[in-house]
Amino acid sequence: MINERRLRDLFEYLVQIDSVSRQEGVISREIRKILESMGADIFIDDSGRHTGSDTGNLIARFKGNRAAPPLFFNAHMDTVEPGKGIKPQFADGVFVSDGTTVLGADDKSAIAIIIEAMRVIQENDLPHGPIEVVLTTCEEIGLLGASHLDYSLLNAGYGYALDTFDTESIVTSAPAANHFEFTVHGKSAHAGAEPEKGINAIVVAARAIAGLRLGRIDSETTCNIGFIECAGATNIVPETVHIKGEARSHDASMLEKVTREITAVFEETVHNAPERQTNGDLPRLTVSIKNQFPNTFISEDHPVVTIARTAAQNLGRTLVSKKTGGGSDANIFFSKNIVTGVIGTGMRDAHTVRESIRLADMVKTVALVVEIMGVHAGRGEEKAI
């Protein structure tokens, strides 16, 4: 039933449409044409005015042929850089880029899979309840599209995000994340003539960073510094340095503890800096802490899990529950009381120019999505909707 050539062609077509974060307008319009030709009702929300994207999130509704609650499937339309001018290569059943860009399988493999699954459903008149397809913008830069989605356009209470690599698992637990920004304010001076009159903000920040616990904190918690910026010349004692990072944990109390510890180290380091003895209120610290996304947890007996497992069993496969350290749109959906399992498309080495995906893995996920729709529809009585 699955048309592998059609799936391959659609994926190749989608990845060649540039759609780095905040520039999803062109691909959104192309996807809209495809979904409208399949009979979907299309809605574009106004999230662009909040995210800075040139379009909003795309929501497509397909009527069902069984009496069942609405079910939704999610993917994101944006890619990371370098993501312009992607030239997909296909050999021995594997897609790669030409090595100068990402491939865009994250997450255009998911979009192609969802569309092919709906085509299979329609062409074979397979049972399905109402299906909602939610394609977001700006996922790669902080889940912004999902954060500003117009949730009044959604009717589904649960569903699936296709945004991980493992085709044999369903992500049922993902961490919450706090984003932190510290700005250390020192004092500029001529680095060659009178460095004694300055306070080197980089030196003060380095002392603080050296005092942090970074990387793997425990089995459920991680912490990372990912950005340090200081503009200036080598003959000027740097006055300001900006540091950005994040902490993640499946344990909310541990996340708050680690965040407090990080902040305390910076505060104490700046306050106790030896340079302060002769410079009064300098060095100084500015702090910003924001929750990026909440954690997710799905119990083993929730329909999201049991439906997916039954679907996999029907296909002669096993689907295991999995805990991940990554975040996705699913985290934001959870904050809106929409339970969302994350399933894989087969993408590998995402966010690198080595990104790849096997067509066979995409076909496996199409089959799983089609079967999930059927199992879900089987929970209700036959009725045209």
Catalytic residues: 78, 139
Contact by Cβ (8 Å): 40, 135: no
CA atoms within 13 A on the CB side of 368: 33
Contact by Cβ (8 Å): 84, 73: no
Order the strands of the 240-249 sheet from edge to edge: 215-218, 221-229, 240-249, 176-185, 284-293
Structure tokens at 265: 């180290």
**DSSP count for the chain of H helices, then E strands:** 11, 17
CA distance to 27, 59, 148, 385, per residue, from 152 (Å): 24, 11, 11, 20
CA nearest neighbour of 111 among 328, 366, 373, 322: 366
Cis bond leading into 303, ω under 30°? no
Q: CA-based angle 304:307:310, to the nearest 5?
A: 145
Coil, helix or strand at residue 308? helix
Instruction: Tell me the one-letter amino acid at 286.
Output: T
Please give the DSSP secondary-structure letter assigned to residue 179: E
Q: CA-based angle 185:186:187, to the nearest 5?
A: 130
CA distance to 198, 250, 320, per residue, from 344 (Å): 53, 20, 12
